[in-house]
Amino acid sequence: MISMAEQKYIKQLYEDGVSKSEIQRRTKLNYRTVCKYADKEDWNDERQPNLDPESYPVLGRFIPIIDEWLEGDTRAPRKQRHTAKRIYDRLREEAGYTGGYSSVKRYVRKKRFVLKQGLVGCLPLAHPMAFAQVDFGEFQRYDAEGTEHKAYELVMSFPYSDKAFAQVFPSQNQECLLIGMRRIFEYIGGVPARIRFDNMSTAVAKVLEGTERELTDGFTRFMLHYRFKADFCNPASGNEKGNVENKVGYIRRNALVPIPTIISFDEFNERLLEWCEKDAQRQHYQREVTIQSLWEEESAKLLTLPQVPYNVFRYEAVRVGKTGFVSIDTNKYGLSPELHDETVQAKIFYDKIEFYHDHALVASYRRSYGKNEELMDWTQYIRTLCRKPGAAEHTRFFTAMPQQWQDYLTQMSGQERRSALQLLDDIVHDGNAEYCVDVLVLAQQNGRSDVDSVKQCYYSLLKEGKTPEPLDLLSQVPTLNYNPNLSVYDGLTGGDANG
């Protein structure tokens, strides 16, 4: 296509009486191009597709149906969107369309162009439906002992309806960000088409020139999985997501005052979502309707959820120290000392960490968000202790063992203690640690404390899967009258039965 200035020049020359051949000689353009613009009467922008139903005599009354299907496709996975052929087939089967395929194909192409331009061209300030903003905010909480800690509220707001959803976490790391977003997606039953963030390090690895960003791998995979587009504010321009920043403060002042006691984050987050629903019953700050009524309209525009939820975790390879500890985020987690100098894979979730060696799970811990904490599991050290049974009381994990086993081992020494520890190691590594107290209780109920008897109690529990009930004997046991006749025996032996 030639420039607008050249089109104007051709038209002006022709209207001044210059022949088309002369215009071709002056402009050195193709003769058909000269004719096209010399004779042109309709100067509407050719890039704006004509979607007027009146321009489609046969297809016209079916256009609202096509529009509904194509707009619905913007929320569906790419592989499950309508093709022009599928729309044509459905129109014939479901709506009685009798026209040709070419009209459908031409309209679909133009409509898709308009939909794409509208999505790309929307500005955040216009508050289109199904566009969201996300941010973290800091607050204080108490634990079960009344100790005060920092915590973080993750807020996702929808400026069109002014509805917001929040989840709280002990940190604002990537695992907390992604699991919080996933929970909100699943709760609202869909995914925003676009989400605006600031340049948080959990999402942005590097700020490039202009609007370009180098994203972290974890955030990129999450974004592709849920199919939303991500926008990022200019540096030091938090006002570009002012709606969610206002919501962070609003939720902190109204849902997190007085300072809450949070023992279980999962339970607290369920109540927090209930609070968000109640808050949405108030009237919108500008429109004379409730936030909830606007949200019901907006939620229909959300993208559909993927069939499989995104599993939020990251891997980290760590080396086991001499005493069996590995370090993650300044905190130490105890593994078996037998793994010292080995490399294990840490599978890090927002609330727990699983450790694998040679593809086998060797330990699982709650994830610590403290500083320089040391977490250990006594079951990890039993096998090593079997080689040094005399050191049991002097280890740091001894007091973490069940009290019954502490008392049982304290009463033993030498080979007897070694055998008891080997039995305990078998119970633990069989995956039956929940039976370790029951076996001692059962043995004591039967008046036995030797290792062999305790082992038999373990096998009994393992076979039955439960602790057997004590035998309930009748209080009145009948007396048997037993007076055998030995005369036949005496006759065989030559004796006298009466002698």
- The predicted pLDDT at position 299 comes to 94
Alpha-carbon distance values, 19 to 31, 41, 136, 415 (Å): 11, 18, 69, 117
Q: Give the pLDDT confidence score for residue 228 in this predicted structure.
A: 92
Which helix (DSSP H) or strand (DSSP E) does residue 175 occupy? helix 174-188
Q: Which residues fall within 8 angstroms of residue 216, CB to CB, at 6 or more apart?
A: 174, 201, 202, 203, 204, 205
CB 451 within 8 A of CB 419: yes
The stretches of 334-484 forming alpha helices (DSSP H) are: 382-385, 403-410, 414-429, 436-445, 451-464
List, in order, residues 6 or more apart from 214 with CB less than 8 Å away.
204, 205, 206, 207, 208
Q: What pLDDT score was predicted for residue 458?
A: 85
Task: Give the pLDDT score at 125.
Answer: 44
User: Token match 């002012």: residue?
Assistant: 242
Decide if 332 contacts 325 (C-beta within 8 A): yes
Please report the pLDDT score of residue 464 as a whole number. Answer: 66
Tokens for 466, please give them: 């439960």
pLDDT number for residue 181: 96
pLDDT the model gives residue 111: 84
Residue 38's pLDDT is what? Answer: 84
Q: How many CA atoms lie within 13 A of 445 on its CB side?
A: 12
355 forms beta bridges with: 346, 363
pLDDT of residue 55: 64
Q: Round to whole Å and give the CA distance between 235 and 245.
A: 15
Residue 427 pLDDT: 85
Structure tokens at 280: 């949405």
The model's pTM is 0.64
Q: Per-residue DSSP letters for 22-61?
A: HHHHHHT--HHHHHHHHS----S-TTS----GGG-TTTGG
Q: How many CB atoms lie within 10 A of CB 182?
A: 20
Looking at residue 77, its amino acid is: P
Residue 44 confidence (pLDDT):
45
Grouping H, G, I as helix, E, B as strand and the rest as coil, residue 147 is coil
Q: How far is Cα 197 from Cα 135, in angstroms, rounded to an integer? A: 7
Q: Residue 397 carries which DSSP code?
A: T
pLDDT of residue 115: 76
Structure confidence by residue, pLDDT tens digits, 25-35: 999 999 988 88
Q: What is the DSSP string of 458-497?
A: HHHHHHHSSPPPPP---SSPPPP------HHHHHHHT--T
Q: Does domain 126-299 have CATH number 1.20.120.1200?
A: no
Strand order, beta sheet including 194-197: 163-169, 148-158, 131-142, 194-197, 229-232
Q: What is the pLDDT of residue 117?
A: 60
Question: In Å, what is the CA distance from 6 to each residue of 9, 22, 29, 42, 301?
Answer: 5, 15, 10, 16, 44
Domain edges within the chain: 4-38, 53-121, 126-299, 314-376, 382-464
Cβ contacts of 386-392, under 8 Å, gap ≥ 24: 386/418, 386/421, 386/422, 386/425, 389/414, 389/417, 389/418, 389/421, 390/417, 392/417, 392/421
- CA torsion, ordered 388, 392, 393, 396, to nearest 10 deg: 110
pLDDT recorded at residue 120: 46
> Which residue stretches of the chain have pLDDT < 70?
1, 41-55, 117-126, 236-239, 464-482, 494-499
Please tell me whether the peptide bond between 258 and the residue prior to it is cis, using omega within 30 degrees of 0: yes
